[in-house]
Amino acid sequence: MARVNMEHSVETALNSYLEEISDTELLSENVNIEEALSRILYEDIIVKKDHPPFDRALTDGYALKSGDISYATEASPVILRIIGEVNVGSKEKLSISPKEAVKISKGAFLPENADAVLLPEDVEPEKDYIKTVKSVVPENYVTRQGEDLKTGEVFIRKNRKLRPQDIGGIIGIGCRQVKVYKKPVVTIIPTGNELVPLDVEPDYHQIIASNGYVLKGFVEQIGGIGTTSTIVRDDLNRVKSAISKALEVSDMVLVSGGSSTGSKDNTLKAVESLENSKIIAHGVSMKPGGHVLLATVGGKPVIGLPGHPVSNMTCFNVFGKPVLRKLAGTPRSFWQERKETIKLDAFLAKNIKSPEGKEDYVRVRLFEEEDKKILAYPYTGKSSFLSTLVKSHGVIRIPAECIALYEGDRVEVMLF
């Protein structure tokens, strides 16, 4: 067992933790494209053939040589002979000569030598001829082979989290399967003598183990597979055994409860006793959740989260979420980060005091006034208060060097 701890800043602890798992090998799997929504691409999608695969018309009309009608005017109309018709799906390839045109449907093969399409409303049909006073430029209503995508081109780069439009595009270029990162499996271990499962009515001194369901939901939102173990009592050997078994089938382990300085808190001791364990931090300068445990066992991340619901969720959002994103192969691109971590500006509705030297995460509830001004009302209740989680819309982060914010201050809210 190796230990590298003492109390760290949030940034130092998180960066050290991410660096520690930076060499983790991420596995891949092939999935059918219809099942690939929100999965992370493991490799680039390469275009296998030109798109469009041939020169084609972008509208119904008449395919012709633009030079034949470049001088067409009201005073001097141009007459072209119609030599045939091309519809979508037609395999016949026509070729036009000077002063000739072909009636064509949108999406059909462009005849050889044609470089433009004239709209039907710009011509006067006369049996096998058309007359026009309209001139057009080359490539008018025409798309050339490979103009959209060329063979060998990178269509979508790896590490993209696939969106609905990406699915349509991949199907459009003829791919039926894609290689994606395997979803990381995360085992959540609820610990505590006071906990009872969901199907048991708690006594006055007992608590239903709800944290596991919250964490499982977050894990699956981010792109992992969450599984919750049975409740583990406050016993060192039981906690050690539960972590050891979870590591056999998981890519990451979250221990909920048992991470503080109490005499019955056994997560740290259990992790330290496991072979190839390393403690990155046990104690971070943050509120709530300062007793979070960041560790690895055999290179796999193990996070000990405080049992109080607010501390539990705050620590997961600060540390668990970025670690899980790394394991899931999610890119750290600015647009993906903004999309998945939505932030908005608001004005603080009342003063907040913050402990000096600790990064503070304060829950807030948002209200929009008639003038569209958004107000953030702080919830400063204790970390065991479930109501503050349910009623809040997000959190504001107060830096460690700041000891207070005041009514009217502009704040950035990270939405849940």
What's the topology of domain 56-143? Answer: Molybdopterin biosynthesis moeA protein; domain 3 (2.170.190)
- Is a pLDDT exceeding 60 seen at residue 4? no
Residue 262: what pLDDT? 54
Which one, of 234, 273, 251, lies nearest residue 24 by Cα? 251
Which one, of 223, 175, 183, 224, lies nearest residue 34 by Cα? 175
HSE-up of residue 40 (Cα within 13 Å, Cβ side): 23
Mean pLDDT of 205-215: 92
Name the average pLDDT for the chain: 92
In tens, the pLDDT along 374-391 reads: 999 998 765 546 677 788
In tens, the pLDDT along 113-154 reads: 999 999 999 999 988 999 999 999 999 999 999 999 999 999
Please tell me the distance from the alpha carbon of residue 267 to that of residue 265, in angstroms, as a whole number: 6
User: What CATH number does the domain located at 2-27+182-333 have?
Assistant: 3.40.980.10
> Where are the strands (E) in 201-357, listed by range?
207-208, 225-228, 252-256, 277-282, 286-287, 293-297, 300-305, 343-348, 352-353
Please tell me the distance from the alpha carbon of residue 93 to that of residue 111, in angstroms, as a whole number: 6
In tens, the pLDDT along 287-338 reads: 999 999 999 999 999 999 999 899 999 999 999 999 999 999 877 677 777 7
Domain 34-48+151-181 has CATH 3.90.105: yes
Q: Which residue has the tokens 């026509």?
A: 94
Please tell me the distance from the alpha carbon of residue 163 to that of residue 322, in angstroms, as a whole number: 20
- Is a pLDDT exceeding 70 seen at residue 63? yes
Q: How far is CA 289 from CA 278, 294, 306, 307, 309, in A?
A: 20, 12, 6, 9, 10
Instruction: Enumerate the domain spans of the chain.
Output: 2-27+182-333, 34-48+151-181, 56-143, 341-415
pTM score, whole prediction: 0.83
Q: How far is CA 283 from CA 95, 211, 369, in A?
A: 78, 21, 40
Say if residues 141 and 117 touch (Cβ distance below 8 Å).
Answer: yes
Confidence bin at 19 (pLDDT 50/70/90): very high
Residue 263: what pLDDT? 45
SS3 content of the chain, % helix, strand, coil (to 5): 25, 35, 45
Residue 261: what pLDDT? 54
Mean pLDDT of 379-405: 82
Residue 338: what pLDDT? 77
Within 10 A of 225 (CB to CB), how many other CB atoms are there?
16
DSSP letters of 183-199? PPEEEEEEB-TTEE-TT
- Is a pLDDT exceeding 70 seen at residue 240? yes
- Is a pLDDT exceeding 70 seen at residue 8? yes
Q: Which residue has the tokens 């109390």?
A: 7
Please tell me the distance from the alpha carbon of residue 365 to that of residue 411, in angstroms, as a whole number: 13
Token pair for 112: 């050889």
Confidence bin at 6 (pLDDT 50/70/90): low
Q: How far is CA 111 from CA 57, 130, 199, 217, 355, in A?
A: 10, 17, 72, 57, 76
Q: How far is CA 16 from CA 242, 304, 319, 413, in A?
A: 26, 16, 11, 26
Q: Which residue has the tokens 């792109």?
A: 223
Token pair for 396: 């504001």
More confident residue, 383 or 228: 228
Residue 332: what pLDDT? 63
Cα angle, residue 216 at apex, residues 158 and 20 outer, rounded to 5°:
55
User: What CATH number does the domain located at 341-415 have?
Assistant: 2.40.340.10
- Is a pLDDT exceeding 70 seen at residue 10? yes
Mean pLDDT of 169-189: 96
More confident residue, 41 or 261: 41
Residue 184: what pLDDT? 97
Mean pLDDT of 356-364: 93
